[in-house]
């Protein structure tokens, strides 16, 4: 068990995020998508409410991806051989990330629809 200061705890958390970004393909994809979404939101000068929805969606997906990565590591450590329960645990965690990602895409469509239509002059 690790102990230490609050600052050390933040350091451990940042190490976990860096680990996931370095080793997990899907985390890299989520991070790249987040950068594109934030850049588009800045460019379109979205309202605070739209920003909140986007940031919540981004955070939800990335947090669940981190939990999925952690769960996969623990399952691999506890059950290096193939086992139906290990598969169920991994698949269920991946399903949680998938649900969050689908929510994030739908939220993005809703958030960006009107501003993009206005930009294109299709605000009928």
Query: Which are the catalytic amino acids?
Result: 65
Q: DSSP E strands: which ranges in the chain?
A: none
| 7: its two tokens | 């600052």
Given the structure tokens 């958030």, which residue do they identify? 111
Q: Do 7 and 14 touch, CB atoms closer than 8 A?
A: no
First to last CA, the chain: 60
């Amino acid at each position: 068990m690790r102990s230490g200061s609050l600052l050390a705890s933040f350091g451990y958390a940042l190490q976990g995020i860096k680990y996931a970004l370095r080793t997990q393909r899907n985390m890299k994809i989520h991070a790249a998508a987040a950068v594109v979404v934030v850049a588009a939101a800045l460019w379109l000068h979205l309202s605070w409410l739209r920003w909140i929805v986007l940031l919540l969606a981004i955070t939800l997906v990335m947090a669940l991806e981190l939990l999925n990565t952690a769960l996969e590591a623990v399952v691999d450590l506890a059950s290096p051989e193939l086992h139906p329960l290990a598969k169920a645990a991994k698949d269920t965690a991946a399903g949680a990330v998938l649900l969050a990602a689908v929510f994030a895409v739908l939220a993005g469509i809703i958030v960006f629809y009107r501003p993009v239509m206005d930009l294109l002059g299709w605000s009928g």
